Amino acid sequence: MSYRALLTAWIAASGFLLQAQEITFQATVDRNEIASGEPVKLSIELTNASAGGGMSTPDMGGLVVMQGPMESSNFSFINGRTSRSTTRTWHLTATAPGNYTIGPSTVRIGNSELKTVPITIKVSKGASGGTSNQAIDKAQQRDPNLFCTISLSKNKAFVGEQLVATYTLFSRYNSLQPKDYDLPKLNGFWAEEVDLGNTNWEAQLRTINGVQYRVAILKKQVLIPLRSGKLTVAPMTLNYMVNPSFFSSGTPVRIQSNAVDVNVAELPSGKPADFSGAVGDLRLQVTAPSGQVKANEAIDLSLTFSGRANLKLLDAPKLNLPPDFDSYDPKVSDKITVNGSGMSGSREYQYVIIPRHEGTYDLGSLTFSYFDPASGSYKELRSQPLSFSVGPGDAAAATTGGTSPKVDVQRLGSDIRYIRTGDLQLRPRGKFLYGSAAWILGMTLPPALLLLTFLWHRRREQRMGDAQGQRRRGADRVARKHLAAAQTALEKNDQGAFHDAVGKAMEGYFADKFNLGVAEVNAAMIQDKLGQMDQGRTAAEYIALINEAQMARFAPIVEKPSKQAYDEAVAIISRIESRYRK
């Protein structure tokens, strides 16, 4: 813009020159982008003409004149050609940001009027904001001759954000001799001095409320708030000897600056896990050897943080290394500059890590989080993924000779066991096989089937008319009936009936039991069927009983009915019954 303005002015002037023989009239500024409070120099130059009526002062368009106008004339004589110029100079400044236009200046040369081109000055927000002006006003009221101020680049900041404190001295005395001073106490700040070299008076005077001062920047500090809340930069006290001379050491003057407050906000919530207090604007570069490395050989891993941030307060980032790696504390090398705009540069962490065993190790990406106060959010720096393929180390192979030294398995952490995968054997809630319809059916069906089988079996047996079986099973019953009759006869003392009944019982029982006709019952048959029982004793007794009964029936010998014969009959039948049950 400046160049264009200059160019236009020059073209306009040169156009004029063609007519008026090398007369130029132009306005220039030393820069056209300034921060508020900074000076800008405006020069209006008239060459090869005399400003008879004088050149007009341009409209400064809202810019404040700090100094000027100062007029200078220049007369040169080069190669037989004379040239002369008249220059008027102003030092301007702006208190508020914005665009300011310096209007044209005019001059009358003869009959023509020359005009300069308007110049636009862009004013950005300066380091010392509006509050410092107030502070200056107050300090000026305390002592209009000598005062100093502390101004901060910001009066609101986050914890860890950089601030620049400027300590400025304003003086109207010609001569000052510093005696001693008390630096302000900085509670809750990390302070870093900005190296300004020797303290020098600024070249230009500064006009404050109509009074001109010589100004010196005594000191600049980068302040980093370490905690939240309202932090105060306490006043600075300075002792000066004013106007010392050969005869006197001067008058002592003690001045005290203002105190400055800054509201420090806590960093917003939602801090990432790897956030360690870095605030500013950062970039991360990771350099690591790529590809194959050897076991037991050191790997240099370097992390470089660069940018404008509280670099000196960074903590070394923790590497999440597998336990098979040995690592050492990183070497820190700083290339940090502290200047009026804060702390910037780079900090490099050089880690030496040594893989102890072969294998492929995937370290993932290194991440680092910082807070960006400009956007008010946390940002994450992420390196490219690191992976090392560790080959067999020469030393290890040579010394161990094929066997590895044994190390205990390290427990790195504890965690719950993993979920069950695969079939979880889900079942409807609150439903169990026990008590269900299926269970009741399963429990009752087999007995029911058994019952059915039993009934079916019995019916089939009956249908087949198992006469033999029934006769055999009924043998006992029939015999008992006869024996009951025999007992009745015994009680009646009826000999004939008694023997008859016993005989029938014994013969009938045998015939029924062994499925024979009554005629077939004889001694041989009995011997045949019962011979094995009790070494033939049963057979002999049986035959004896039958014979006795027959004898009594067919040849009625007067003989008492025998209780003994009855008992024997009962015993023998029950003995056979128990032997041939079923």
Partner 1 sequence: MKRLLLPLLMMALSLPLTARNAPAALLDQAQEAYAKGHHQQALALYDSINTEYTSAGLLYNIGNCYSKLGDFPRAILYYEKALRLSPGAEDVQANLDMERTKVVDRMNQRPAFTLGSAWDRLQGGKDVDQWARRSIWASILMAFFAGAGLLIRPTYAKRLLYGAAGIALVASVASAALAAYRVHNVEQRSEAIILSPSVEILGEPRQGSTRLFILHQGTKVDLLDHQGEWQEVRLPSGAVGWLPTTSIGVI
Half-sphere exposure of 549 (CA within 13 A, CB side): 26
- CA neighbor of 27 nearest in space, from 78, 69, 64: 69
Residue 464 interacting with partner 1 (CB under 8 A) = no
Q: Which is nearer to partner 1, 230 or 417 (CB)?
A: 417
Residue 406 within binding range of partner 1, rule CB under 8 A: no
**Which of 306, 150, 111, 304 lies closest to 235, judged by CA?**
150
Closest approach of partner 1 to the CB of residue 469, in Å: 11
Whether 560 and 576 have beta carbons less than 8 Å apart is answered as: no
CB neighbour burial string for 62-88, b if at least 16 within 10 angstroms, e if fewer: bbeebbbeeeeeeeeeeeeeeeeebbb
Cα–Cα distance, 551 to 555 (Å, whole number): 6
Q: Is 426 in the site for partner 1 (CB under 8 A)?
A: yes
Among 436, 468, 488, 532, interactor with partner 1 by CB under 8 A: 436
Distance set, CA 463 to CA 28, 451, 454, 457, 459 (Å): 140, 18, 14, 10, 6
Count residues binding partner 1 (CB under 8 A): 36
Min. distance of Cβ 424 from partner 1 in angstroms?
4
Q: What are phi and psi of 531, to 5 degrees?
A: -55, -35
411 binds partner 1 (CB under 8 A): no
In the block, tokens 């050491």 appear at 249
Nearer to partner 1, 197 or 430 (CB): 430
Q: Binding of partner 1 at residue 364 (CB under 8 A)?
A: no
- Does 416 participate in binding partner 1 (rule CB under 8 A)? yes
**Segment contacting partner 1 by CB under 8 A, of 137-145, 298-306, 399-407, 411-419:** 411-419
558 contributes a contact to partner 1 by CB under 8 A: no
Site membership for partner 1, residue 469 (CB under 8 A) = no
Residue with token string 């003057």:
253
Residue 450 interacting with partner 1 (CB under 8 A): yes
User: Which of 449, 467, 484, 518 touches partner 1 by CB under 8 A?
Assistant: 449
Asked if 437 interacts with partner 1 (CB under 8 A), we say yes
For residue 448, the minimal CB distance to partner 1 (Å) is: 8
Rounded (5°) CA angle 106-107-111: 120
- Among 80, 110, 405, 446, contact with partner 1 (rule: CB under 8 A): 446
DSSP β-bridge partners for residue 216:
169, 201
Nearer to partner 1 (CB atom), residue 409 or residue 519: 409
Q: Is residue 578 close enough to count as binding partner 1 by CB under 8 A? A: no
Please count the other Cβ atoms lying within 10 Å of the Cβ belonging to residue 184. 22
Q: Does 428 bind partner 1 (CB under 8 A)?
A: yes
The tokens describing 510, both together, are 């045998």
111 binds partner 1 (CB under 8 A): no
Pick one of 96, 441, 524, 571: the residue that binds partner 1 (CB under 8 A): 441
Q: Which is nearer to partner 1, 18 or 416 (CB)?
A: 416
Does 328 contact partner 1 by CB under 8 A? no
What tokens appear for 545 in the block? 């009983």
The binder of partner 1 chosen from 429, 517, 557, 578 (CB under 8 A): 429
Rule CB under 8 A: say whether 273 interacts with partner 1: no
11: contact with partner 1 by CB under 8 A: no
Cβ burial 270-300 (10 Å sphere, 16+ → b, else e): eeeeebebbbbbbebebebeeeebbbbeebe
Residue 156 pairs in a beta bridge with 263
225-264 binders of partner 1 (CB under 8 A): none
Taking CB under 8 A as the criterion, the residue among 1, 11, 407, 443 binding partner 1 is 443
Among 4, 411, 431, 560, binds partner 1 (CB under 8 A): 431
Look up residue 468 and give its two tokens.
């033999």
**Contact yes or no for 174/213 (Cβ under 8 A):** no
Quick one: 259 or 450, whose CB is closer to partner 1? 450
Instruction: Return residues touching partner 1 (CB under 8 A).
Output: 414, 416-421, 424-439, 441-443, 445-447, 449-450, 452-454, 457, 582
